[in-house]
Amino acid sequence: MDHFIIEPNQFIALTEDPEILINHYPGTDPDNVLYVEDLPSFNDDKGNVFIADEYGKQLDFFHYSDKYHSDFLQDTEGVSLERISYDGPSDNPNNWQSAASTAGFTTPGKVNSQFFQGNTAGDVVTVDPQVFDPGNNGFYDFTTIKCRFPSSGNMANIQILDATGRRIRTIVSHKSIGTEEDFKWEGINEQGQEVRMGPYIVFVEIYISSGARNIYRRKVVVGNRF
């Protein structure tokens, strides 16, 4: 097939063997599976993927690594990395997450199980969702700290605090960040252990070279889907 048009909001899985893919992942819509004669091989530990136009101009790029997978997974073999938001940059580890176990760890020809489109409502710092349930079960497994600044040159400290103000997790420490940045928290502490259910505070400190400093505090709840 020389030409194939992907319609808006359509999802396509590319494969060299549609029959094996459809049989291996029940529920896959055959109409959303496209046979490709020769796909490049992809190492599952790390690699680069890019999309180019017919003239070879690069349109999109992603450097992937198995380190981007959820810390809750002991074995990432056969687990897909899924893009969280189409609005976020492709080449950003915080915009990728392991596919949910409830989706069979992959969603060929379907919307990503970890897809989430939040609404920042113009605020500088937002947390979306405000209630999440860690554990890679497909029910808001993580929360995203969204930072949207009117100017560049920002340095940031981002920490997760418990209800008593104790530091639970450092997300960013004295790091230069862009005008639009997303940071992911999966509900784990500094030791890589899942935190207890309950309320937490996302503490964001932003400062610039002139000495100006702003503090943002946002509430987030580690809960349970039941």
For 106-159, the pLDDT digits (tens) are 899 998 887 766 554 568 899 999 999 987 676 788 999 998 887 767 888 999
* Run of H or E residues at 19: helix 18-24
Q: What contacts 32, CB < 8 A, 6 or more positions away?
A: 10, 11, 12, 13, 108, 109, 110
* Alpha-carbon span 30 to 27, nearest angstrom: 9
Tell me the CATH number for domain 118-226: 2.60.40.4070
Residue 203 burial (CB < 10 Å; 0-12/13-18/19+)? middle
Q: What is the pLDDT of residue 167?
A: 96
- Compute the distance between CA of residue 219 and CA of residue 199 in angstroms, rounded to an integer: 7
Of 100 and 217, more confident: 217
Residue 117 confidence (pLDDT): 62
State how far the Cα of 21 lies from the Cα of 15, in Å rounded to an integer: 8
Question: Which range has highest mean pLDDT (26-35, 71-80, 81-90, 121-130)?
Answer: 26-35
- Residue 89, pLDDT > 80, answer yes
String of DSSP letters for 166-203: -EEEEEEEEEEE-SEEEEEE-SB-TTSPBPPSEEEEEE
pLDDT for position 120: 47
How far apart, in whole angstroms, are the C-alpha atoms of residue 221 and residue 143? Answer: 9
Predicted confidence band of residue 102 (pLDDT cuts 50, 70, 90):
low
Q: Determine which of 96-105, 117-126, 186-195 has the lowest per-residue pLDDT on average.
A: 117-126
Backbone angles phi, psi at 213, to 5 degrees: -140, 135
The pLDDT of residue 7 is above 90:
no
- The mean pLDDT of 66-77, rounded to a whole number, is 84
Rounded-to-integer distance, Cα 98 and Cα 112, Å: 10
Q: What is the distance between the alpha carbons of residues 222 and 226, in angstroms, rounded to a whole number?
A: 12
Average pLDDT over residues 82-110: 85
Confidence of residue 15 (pLDDT cuts 50, 70, 90): very high
Where are the extended beta strands (E) located within 3-111?
13-15, 33-35, 46-52, 58-65, 81-83, 96-98
Does residue 76 have a pLDDT over 70? Answer: yes
Angular region, 181: left φ>0, alpha ψ -120 to 50, beta rest = beta
The mean pLDDT of the chain is: 87
Per residue in 161-190, pLDDT (tens digit) is: 999 999 999 999 988 787 778 899 999 999
pLDDT score of 128: 93
The more confident residue out of 32 and 87 is 32
What's the pLDDT score for residue 180? 78
222 pLDDT higher than 80: yes
Domain residue ranges in the chain: 1-116, 118-226
